[in-house]
Amino acid sequence: MTVEADRARSRSAAPESHPPHALPGEHPALVGEASVSVDCSTGVGPMSRMWTSFGYDEINWTYTPTGKQTLTKIGGFGDRPYHVRPHYVFCSGTGFGLPHWGNGNVYHEDADGNPSYDFAIADQVYDAIVGAGHHPLVELAFTPLDLVPEEAKREFPFENSPTAYSGYEAGWWSYPPKDYARWGELVAALATHCLERYGAQEVSQWLWELWNEPDIFYWRGTPEQFYELYDVTSRAIRQVLPEARVGGPTVTGGSRGVPFLRGFLAHCAESGAALDFVSFHTKGSAFRPWRVYGPLGAPAPERQSPSTLKMLREVRRLLDVVGEFPQYADLPCVVDECDASVPAHWGVYDNANFGYRNTEYYAVFQAKLMKKLHDLNAVSPAQVSHATTWSFYFEGERYFEGTRALVTTSGIDKPVLNAYRMFARLGDERLAATSSASWPLSALDDAGTGMAEEVDVLATRDDDGQVSVLVWRHVDDQYATAEGPTAVTVRLENVPADVAGFDVDHWRIDHDHSNAHTVWQGLGAPQGPTPEQVAAIRERAGLERHESPRRVTVAGARVELSTDLPLPSVSLFVLTPVR
């Protein structure tokens, strides 16, 4: 069956095996047991490490003590380098970071209009990323103050205020640069500097990308102006780094993103501009309202949750656009903001719906999302190579503020970071695996705003025969409750004849495991915890075992495991063969 035919079948077929539950809004527990089967004899392709990427707005926090600590922590458990994408490297400023703002302060002109470059801040950023074992995804943005066109200051007026910096931070940076030649020289200067500082071998691993979300307010020019700027940018990069991987256009998953992406690809096909990857974004929700001005800790005016369905629909729509251009269909698609909700820098005190970011719910959501994106790749004309979480950390926040961050105050890991620890333990080859209670991709166009409750599975193996099985229970409703856990049976079928048994490690993220937030709540949610309390929270912040290691015996080429999954939760079984 062709990819196109398989994709059409996936969309048009009736759901094969809806689990016995309702759509979000009505959430009975799953009826009976869920049965998971893993076929150890059937590989279904490589296990893409699409999760090995993260990014953030606050570029100046990259090189703070907590920033460096977090980069090093991820480098320590990651099974390969991550690509790290900060905003604002070309923006002007003092190097002082704020939530949703930062600056690399590279470009300057003297009184006679002669340009000069200052890489002091950029060096600290990329030194921290490379020093932790990662590779930059260099977002070439936005317009420096000395390249802002004069009309920006007329069209985007600003009144001085002690609560805001200037019209530049307010929006002048989003205008096309007034001199595209100077912009090209700036891009080439950064590429040259990075080549000299980090060497060709390191820089060959970097990705270079123009701008961010030019289909919305981040770009106050026309699409045609952006396409021209891309031509200038890609030429400048390739003149310095002939083998560099250059791409874009980083559009949103909304209604403006589709025509902008289509126009961009048509332009590149006509102009012959270098294009090595296609990038776009998706978000699972934008809570209404984003901010609630009321007493601290007030409940949300309307209960809302992130939607896996929304994200998958947006990604599929943009993959289809890439598939319209045969010359680009084989390019990697980088979803370099792939997040459950926006914005990153607001939390539970802005809107209580952001509370999921503190809990096990978010960790399980990420596990489910990564698996569904792999499923989507199997029936799409183009392939997602990276699914970037736009998450890092925030200076000055309270404990468990609810921001979209990997760690909270004092560098304490949030449960979501443990999902990435689980991903790092997966093997390089995906195995055929099914669940009796999974939500099928063929139901993607069914009515509903969120994915219904499911138990699903992702299984892999390594070259040495180690099998890893990720299994979870989740629903796109952070407020859903269930009377009890679901009993899940995991069967490994067609185990190789030379394997007599497996040593089993079982890791778990749920309310009571791998969950610093639960421990903090149990201590009374202190905002000034004692050193002893901080130590107790840290002790439970990492990935925890659900049971002691044990050995199981193969019988009839089969192994059977069992576990109970509360809602929400995710388990990782790592089975090392005994021959």
Q: Which residue blocks in 241-307 are alpha helix, DSSP H?
A: 257-271
Q: How many CB atoms lie within 10 A of CB 6?
A: 12
Would you tell me how many other CB atoms lie within 10 Å of the CB of residue 137? 26
| 414 within 8 A of 401, measured Cβ to Cβ | no
HSE-up of 290 (CA within 13 Å, CB side)? Answer: 9
Cβ atoms 478, 305 nearer than 8 A = yes
For 571, the 3-state DSSP assignment is: strand
> What sign results for the dihedral spanned by CA atoms 300, 368, 537, 544?
positive
Residue 41's closest CA among 431, 554, 430? Answer: 431
In terms of Cβ atoms closer than 10 Å to its own Cβ (0-12, 13-18, 19+), residue 38 is buried
Radius of gyration of the chain (CA): 24
Amino acid of residue 223: P
Beta-bridged to residue 405, according to DSSP, are: 392
* Cβ-contact 239, 233 below 8 angstroms: no
Contacting residues for 528 by C-beta, under 8 A, at least 6 apart? none
**Which element (helix H / strand E) includes 200?**
helix 200-203
213 as an active site residue: the answer is yes
Active-site hit among 58, 139, 209, 213: 213
Written as one string, the DSSP assignment of 461-483 is E-TT--EEEEEEEE-S-TT---S
Q: Which of 223, 312, 220 is nearest to 265 (CA)?
A: 223
Half-sphere exposure of 164 (CA within 13 A, CB side): 10
Contact between 67 and 84 (Cβ < 8 Å): no
Separation CA 22–CA 294 (nearest Å):
34
Q: CA–CA separation, 462 vs 482, rounded Å?
A: 36
Angle 205-209-214 from CA coordinates, rounded to 5°: 160
Query: How many CA atoms does the CB half-sphere of 326 hold within 13 Å?
Result: 1
- The catalytic residues are 213
